[in-house]
Amino acid sequence: MQYVNSVNCDPCGTDGVQGICAAGYHIPSDLEWSHYEWCVENDPGYTLSYFQNSTGWRGSIVGQKLKATSSNTPPWNGTNASGFTALPAGGRGNGGGFNYLGSFAYFWSATEASATNALVLQPQHGRLAERPEQHRQDTRLLRPLPPELTL
């Protein structure tokens, strides 16, 4: 299921950060990520409020729906039901080296958890976590839907 044709599930808003992004794109905030995760989870047992007010584990199968499948390159063990196609790009560690290529992914949010940590989405776990900003994780940029694609 693709989530581009519903105004209620458009994760783009105005609270993200443009910063390094090309014109019209921005780094999503945690509020935007939580809204997208809620749409992807698509389970009446979870409310939007639950996703917006939870840290740590959010939902039950959202991570699987965000992750690439075994037929993607590199392969991963998700269903990609969302069309997001999260790839297991790994991440950068404290020493500056890169770790977990092929098994993990981290996606920044524009939301700070503290003066030195940002919130990141971890689709391999279906959760939100704090990561030190010096880790320089992957970023998925968003842009608002054009008016003709919203309901």
Is the Cα dihedral 92, 19, 74, 51 positive or negative?
Answer: positive
Q: What's the CA gap between 40 and 121, in Å, rounded?
A: 14
Tell me the whole-structure pTM to 2 decimals.
0.73
Query: Does residue 117 contact residue 131 with C-beta atoms inside 8 Å?
Result: yes
The more confidently predicted of residues 140 and 43 is 43
Q: How many domains does the chain have?
A: 1
| The pLDDT of residue 60 is above 50 | yes
| The pLDDT of residue 77 is above 70 | yes
Domain range for residue 137? 7-149
The answer to whether residue 15 is domain-embedded is yes
The answer to whether residue 2 is domain-embedded is no
The answer to whether residue 112 is domain-embedded is yes
